[in-house]
Amino acid sequence: MDYFMKAYVPEAERMQKLASLNIVAQIALIAGTGFAGVIISLLSFDHAFLAISFCGLLAALAGARFLPNLTVVDRTSAARRKGAFSVGPLMYFKYPSLFSVACCAALVFSIGQITNTLLPGLINIYFQRTSISYSLVEAAWAIGAFCVSAFLVGKINNFFGRNAQDLLLIAGMAGMLAIVPYLKDFAILLAAHLLLGAGFAFVRIRSETRFLASCPMPLLGRFRANGLCLANLIGLMVFSARIVFHELSVPGLYLLLAGG
CA-closest candidate to residue 134, choices 58, 23, 244, 48? 48
pLDDT in tens, 120-132: 888 888 888 877 8
Provide the 10 A C-beta neighbour count for residue 229.
Answer: 13
What span, in angstroms and rounded, lies between the C-alpha atoms of 196 and 203?
11
Q: Which of 32, 24, 15 is nearest to 204 (CA)?
A: 15
> Which of these, 215, 168, 196, lies nearest to 254 by C-alpha position?
196
Residues 70-86: tens digit of each pLDDT: 454 455 555 445 544 55
Q: What is the pLDDT of residue 130?
A: 77
Residue 240: Cβ-neighbour burial (10 angstroms; 0-12, 13-18, 19+): exposed
Q: What is the C-alpha separation between 224 and 1, in angstroms, rounded?
A: 11
Question: Are the C-beta atoms of residues 209 and 18 closer than 8 Å to each other?
Answer: yes
User: Which of these, 94, 95, 238, 89, lies nearest to 177 by C-alpha position?
Assistant: 238
DSSP letters, 90-159, are THHHH-HHHHHHHHHHHHHHHHHHHHHHHHHHIIIIIS---HHHHHHHHHHHHHHHHHHHHHHHT--S--
DSSP reduced 3-state for 245: coil
Q: Which range has the worst mean pLDDT, 110-114, 156-160, 186-190, 223-227?
A: 156-160
* Beta-carbon count within 10 A of 217 CB: 16
DSSP states along 180-199: GGG---HHHHHHHHHHHHHH
Distance of alpha carbon 204 from alpha carbon 102, whole angstroms? 10
- Tens of pLDDT, residues 161-185: 677 888 899 999 999 999 998 888 8
Q: Give the CB-side neighbour count of residue 14, counting CA atoms within 13 A.
A: 25
How many whole angstroms from its chain centre is CA 201? 7
In this predicted model, what pLDDT tens digit does every residue of 2-48 receive, in sequence order?
777 887 788 888 888 888 888 888 887 777 766 666 676 777 766 76
What's the CA gap between 185 and 104, in Å, rounded? 31
Q: Rounded to 5 degrees, what angle do the CA atoms 164, 98, 24 make?
A: 80
pTM over 0.85: no
